[in-house]
Structure 1
Amino acid sequence: MKPSRLLRLGLGALSALTLSACQSLAFGVANHGLARPDASAVYDPAHQLSLDVYRPAAAVRNAPVLVYFYGGSWQHGARAHYRFVGRRLASTGAVVMVADYRLAPETIFPGFVEDGARAVAWARAHAADYGADPARVFIGGHSAGAQIAALLGTDAHYLADQGVPRSAIAGVIGLAGPYDFRISGELTEVFGPPERWPQAQPIGFVDGDEPPFLLVSGRRDTEVEPRQTRDLADRLRAAGGRVEVLWLPGGHLAPLIDLYAHHRHPALLARIRDFLRGP
């Protein structure tokens, strides 16, 4: 199949990701021809949770580590679907670890955030095994995964419970993330009793001691309002934090589509690369 034809198929499939019946096809097309992960490891034996490791094609001295959490409304997803994300992000020179976490109804909030903290602790402890620098650990994710990443970056107790000080995190990358969101409908099953809901909002924990943030959103996102990206950025700046914002044309899946077809809007991958390199 011609590359241009495959690209068109991939873009169309990724655009249909919100339709569950199309997901297997979409991910199959997006991952077509890509090498399998360079390694896989169980980071939480108690819950049989694993992560996949993607290394840069060329050795990078003191490479950063990026722990990535996928989206899926905290109810769907699997690390195997995100080979195209792992490979693309590894092209920035980072060692990328795409981590599974428990999904509802197997667990409810804050179980999946606690899983995320364990993945980050494992990545920090094992970074050197993959040629990466344990002092340069970044956290990122898309949609629900961005909420997990942002909460780990703002509410210090999750990482502290795993022996990781928040100061050990070099930065957080949030792609189309919910940071101050309304919990209703099926999400009430995911986030438990109402008195717990404020604890799920990353914006509520900004206190000025956060790592740098890179926030990315599609201007036409109708699933997670772009104002959530803007509001979190404003709160971080008001607290004296360092934050960068990148707006993409497109909707909720724009960051994933632009990672798959990075030549469409090369600013995304370039901004991520620069952010991982540090100031």
Structure 2
Amino acid sequence: MAGGSPAVELAGVSVAYRTNDGTEYTAVRDIDLAVPAGRFVSVVGPTGCGKSTILNVAAGLLRASRGEVRTAGRRLSGLNTDAGYLFQQDALLPWKTVLDNVAFGLQLRGVAPAERARRAAEWLRRVGLSGFERAYPHQLSGGMRKRAAVAQTWITDPDLLLMDEPFGALDVQTRQIMENELLALWTGSGKTVVFVTHDLDEAVSLSDEVVLLSAGPESRIIGRYPIDLPRPRDLMNIRTRPEFTEAYARVWADLREEVMKGYERTVRG
């Protein structure tokens, strides 16, 4: 990181666009969010509040209408090459083997075939998929596909990981296993994670800090909550700790109010 600069910073960011009837819709307004290097920060809020919009702006996939984005102290223009992006739906190519899918990012970077195959095999071992190198995505379970997607994202060694509800489609048991595996990979890596989720339980379990967005439109940051749970964390047991219950209740007291505002606007609309 350049001179201790945040891993990613949104400064006065607003995102607006024209709807089909020609009116302007502002998804998020005046977002100021600086995420220090090496931190795990989750963004929560009611449905439709612009969580994914913020992540897409940080990734360079969406241009801010106002404000700027900086990554490692540099103003972002175009795609954020410091970042890896893990979507809710994996980006595995159905015609490629699991090994070739994981190695694809290295292929795009010009890494030699033997080296990228070696590194992909090592990452498959790290995520528990040794023996499935020649399988195709349709032959994997949902949890196995997610493991492959995690390896696909991490193999290029990005400094910043942007995750958009990556475990939302998994069953509860598989989801907890994947959350634990994510923390095991992240711990000690020095990488920064910005994690979008609709699940407050997940946000509190994983994070150093939870950021709360207001109900949309014109969503803004209305709360930032440090999570002082000790690390390393075993997510199979952490939810029984009184510190977890206290942190959850603190965030939920404010999130609940925004959820009800969003619901009322939907009913009236």
The normalised TM-score by structure 1 is 0.29
Larger Rg: 2
The normalised TM-score by structure 2 is 0.30
Structure of greater relative contact order (alpha carbons < 8 Å, 6+ residues apart) = 2
